[in-house]
Amino acid sequence: MNCPDCNTNSPRPHGRFGRKRIQRFKCRNCARTFSESSYRPLPSSYLSREKVSQILNCMIEGLSVRSTERLTGIHRDTILRILQTVGEKCETLLSERICKISVSEVQCDELWGFVGCKEKHKSDESPDTFGDAYCFVAIERNTKLVLAWHLGRRTSRDTEAFTEKIDAATTGRFQITTDGFSAYPDAISLSLGTRVDFAQLIKVYGSLADGEHRYSPPDVIDAIAVLRIGRPSPRRICTSHIERQNLTMRMCIRRLTRLTNGFSKKWENLKATLALYFAWYNFCRVHQTLRVTPAMQTGLTEHVWTIEELLSAATT
């Protein structure tokens, strides 16, 4: 350890300070006192890089906050603070790295979830953030890269905000396919204009039998392709890949698991969790069919990132 003033390597112990009892040193040459610099992965936390990485690993592998608390020994309030801090930085990282990417086929869908309570159970005293929360996701079919995402309501306003993110993330002409949500045609026409070939795949569901109650949608009896903008290729009108991505999200994000009490109680926590997941999915998770990460397949990076690398990239 060298002195910050004279750069000589001749320190001697000079007591400790602070609640962490950090060791102080005194230079034998110039009598300057200083302490050993310690790396903090998050400015708001004194936890080590290994402990923060362990917490993030638990969160993206489908564990709840209290399960993570039991495994790591870190209080749940600290876990949530770390989640919000890293989630905000991952959101910034994705917007900076996923920008003006050349794509060929894009699929979009919205995944249902809720915060606090379901929409039908809201009362007049419930906060505005309570109720249904839809995560809009756009994925590139060939590279499996998540191009854009948006957390909001299933409204025209949030759909337009989502398509604006797709416009910022892509460049050139490409084909885009969505489900039959009625807000997509106007939003895509406004944000992407005529530089896309746009089609909707509208599914027709069968009716339930009398007295039958199910938590999943009825069986699909038909799928109708509707051409909206340009000349989309009928062979490439498909939403199977984005729907498989929805399953991956429900398996990896505890807050989206149905029929449990692990749902989000705050909108900010759900948004931070989604940002962390999408950053991990693009840069750290090796896709089974690609055998590389989506970021490697796209050319954004040359190797598989570890959680430590993701944390370093997000906090720098």
Residue 150, beta-bridge partner list = 136
pLDDT of residue 211: 59
In the chain, the amino acid numbered 166 is I
pLDDT of residue 63: 94
pLDDT of residue 12: 84
1, 26 Cβ separation under 8 angstroms: no
188, 160 Cβ separation under 8 angstroms: no
* Confidence class for position 157, pLDDT limits 50, 70, 90: very high
pLDDT above 90 covers what percent of the chain?
Answer: 72
**Topology, domain 49-206+217-315:** Nucleotidyltransferase; domain 5 (3.30.420)
State the span(s) of the chain assigned CATH 2.20.25. 1-38
24, 5 Cβ separation under 8 angstroms: no
pLDDT of residue 309: 92
Please give the angle made by the CA atoms of 32, 36 and 38, to the nearest 5 degrees. Answer: 145
Distance in angstroms (rounded) separating the CA atoms of residues 282 and 297: 10
pLDDT of residue 259: 87
Q: Which residue has the higher pLDDT, 70 or 313?
A: 70
Measured between its terminal Cα atoms, the distance across the chain in Å is 24
The model's pLDDT over 3-15, given as tens digits with 9 standing for 90+, comes to: 888 888 878 888 8
* Confidence class for position 44, pLDDT limits 50, 70, 90: low
Backbone φ and ψ of 75, nearest 5°: -60, 145
Q: What is the mean pLDDT of the chain?
A: 91
Asked if CATH classification 2.70.98 holds for the domain at 1-38, the reply, yes or no, is: no
Distances (CA, A) of 250 to 26, 150, 230, 275: 55, 16, 34, 14
Edge-to-edge strand ranges of the sheet holding 33-35: 11-17, 22-27, 33-35
140, 105 Cβ separation under 8 angstroms: yes
In the chain, the amino acid numbered 290 is L
The model's pLDDT over 290-301, given as tens digits with 9 standing for 90+, comes to: 999 999 999 999
Backbone φ and ψ of 17, nearest 5°: -145, 160
Distance in angstroms (rounded) separating the CA atoms of residues 88 and 80: 12
pTM, entire model:
0.86
